[in-house]
Amino acid sequence: MDTETAPGTAAGSYTAENPSPSPYQSLQAGSWVKLICGASYQDMPTIRRLAMLYALAGADCIDVAADGAVVAAARQGLEDAVWLTERLGDRKASALANRGLPWLMVSLNDSEDPHFRKAHFDAAHCPPDCDRPCEPVCPTAAIQFRSASQGGVKPDLCYGCGRCIAVCPLDRIEAQSYMARPEAFSSEQLVQIDAVEIHTQTGHQAQFEQLWQRLQPWRPHLKLISISCPDHDRVVPYLQDLYNLMAPLAVPLIWQTDGRPMSGDLGKGTTHAAIRLAQKILQAGLPGHVQPAGGTNGYTVDKLLALGLIKNTPSASYPDFPPSGLASSQSGGMASHGSVLVRNTISGIAYGGYGRSQVLPLLDAIDYELQPWLGNASLNQPSNGQWGSPTSDTAPVAPWQRLDNSALGQGLALAQQLVNQLKIDRHFLPTRYG
Ligand code: SF4
Ligand code: SF4
């Protein structure tokens, strides 16, 4: 698929004539896009910039680790996006001006889960002549050596993908699992969170129920519940059990079909497992929205189009959402009008490693470009929205005034290319994926 779009060109632009839907409306229209920063990823400066770029690009949701500092960094990124939107005007980022902020989601686990683990090893126990295949295979540069016998994994940068574990010839790297605890959030932090995702696995009813009960204080604040589950022979009856346990819901419900976890940046074929599971859940007719994740990448939309799994209707108008009388055990917390209850198409896509890898190489340059407007606030810590102005007489030209020639413009174009595959381009794309 040709996804080349020069920064600043019209393909990635929203205009006043083409207003973006709210996250609720995106779910209804089948154009919901979520960026997954990583359930274990805690690199605050990167999360802040990812949230900023994908908010500007029109994403509906930013999914982050259940960690108060990470949530604050993502919120800061959303504030940065608002600040930049005012400067960008209607040239690149009116998606945000028209629709408001994406929702902020945190991910929790009801039991041991590969998304909730960190790799660990001590280089002092590694042979000095090891070629260190663990180091280059890490997608986030979390493995760092100061010398042959000094180094290991930087926990904040590790999101548990397991690639280093697979390549270590001596099995020196262990995975340390943990449970993300909702009790770790204060009531002040709770109000910053719009949505929660529970990672579960077939057969874990008891663990799920326990976590669901512990989430009772959260539920009145939430706009959305997402359940992430990998495939299994008994996955459909399991998810039906979970639905019965949660119903009635006052908010929309997403089934996140977790195909091949944390693999979207590895190649074209990683998208198949998530799509297969999405088909299975759609065919089962479970109440709720279906959204693939885990291996999704730049080929996912074409593949879904080829299978007829994307709603292919004009998005010029969107139904009001949520409608009155929403919460009923029959509706699953979804709109009770239109064709919402009978779904045969996905409601959106979540991108993890692929979405991050599109813009990660540009983040340092974007920080450098924005630094003069940050005053003394370091990009390594939240600046509480206190953006300054360049103080020198020879102030640089702001990146938003030269988008076609800036890392900010490039990053924004790349993020928009991905987001717009489902939001705009799908109406024009032929099915080109074999
Ligand atoms: S390769 Fe994956 S699991 Fe290993 S340190 Fe890097 S992010 Fe963590
Ligand atoms: S590959 Fe294994 S043995 Fe070699 S440096 Fe990495 S952790 Fe140590």
Domains with residue ranges and CATH for the chain? 10-113+180-359+411-427 (3.20.20.70), 117-176 (3.30.70.20)
Give the total residue count for the chain: 434
Q: Which residue's CA is minimally distant from atom 5 of ligand 2?
A: 132
Report CA(169)–ligand 2 centroid distance (Å): 7
Report CA(43)–ligand 2 centroid distance (Å): 23
Mutate to test the pocket of ligand 2, among 130, 143, 145 (most ligand atoms within 8 A of CB): 130
> What are the two backbone dihedrals, phi and then psi, of residue 333, each rounded to the nearest 5 degrees?
75, 25
Ligand 1 pocket check for 143: Cβ under 6 Å: yes
Report CA(354)–ligand 1 centroid distance (Å): 15
Residue 77 CA to residue 252 CA, distance in Å, equals 25
Beta strands in 82-191 (DSSP E): 103-109, 117-120, 143-147, 150-153, 174-177
Ligand 2 pocket check for 143: Cβ under 6 Å: no
Q: How do the pLDDT tens digits run along the chain, 434 residues long?
A: 333 222 222 223 333 344 457 899 999 999 999 999 999 999 999 999 999 999 999 999 999 999 999 999 999 999 999 889 888 876 555 556 667 799 999 999 999 999 999 999 999 999 999 999 999 999 999 999 998 889 999 999 999 999 999 999 999 999 999 999 999 888 888 889 999 999 999 999 999 999 999 999 889 989 999 999 999 999 999 999 999 999 999 999 999 999 887 776 777 778 899 999 999 999 999 999 999 999 999 999 999 999 999 987 544 444 444 433 333 333 433 433 333 345 799 999 999 999 999 999 999 999 999 988 865 454 444 444 445 555 555 667 889 889 889 999 999 999 999 999 998 755 444 333 32
All residues at 6 or more sequence positions from 228 whose CB lies less than 8 Å from its CB, including other chains: 107, 197, 198, 199, 200, 256, 258, 293
| pTM attached to this predicted model | 0.85
Q: Which residue's CA is minimally distant from atom 2 of ligand 1?
A: 161
Structure tokens at 89: 């005007």
Q: Which residue's CA is minimally distant from atom 4 of ligand 2?
A: 132
Residue 205 CA to residue 2 CA, distance in Å, equals 44
Residue 63 CA to residue 22 CA, distance in Å, equals 17
Q: Which residue's CA is minimally distant from atom 8 of ligand 1?
A: 158
